[in-house]
Amino acid sequence: MANVCGVDRVVRVLGGAALLALSLLGPLTDTLYPWGLIGVVPLLTGLLGWCPAYRIFGFRSCRAA
């Protein structure tokens, strides 16, 4: 069941993609690479529409059906 919708989902996808892009296309430094890997989490939760942390805390950005 989806718990990430609307603007929340768009921000996650764009933010995750930006972090990955910085890691892959930006300057090759040791400090930038881990931040790019962290970008995988918001990208996947945005694409899937489901966040395990939201599930644990009972939060939803979707309207109730």
Q: Which amino acid is at 2?
A: A
Asked if 17 and 40 count as a contact pair (C-beta separation under 8 A), the reply is no
Distances 16 to 11, 19, 60, 63, 64 between C-alpha atoms, Å: 8, 5, 19, 23, 26
Write out pLDDT tens, residues 41-65.
999 999 999 999 999 999 999 887 5
pLDDT tens digits, one per residue of 15-51: 999 988 888 776 666 666 677 788 999 999 999 999 9
Residue 11 backbone phi and psi in degrees, to 5: -65, -40
Global pTM value: 0.82
pLDDT score, position 32: 61
Where along the chain do its domains lie?
6-57
Structure tokens at 41: 């989490």
* Mutual angle of helices 40-48 and 6-25, in 10-degree steps: 140
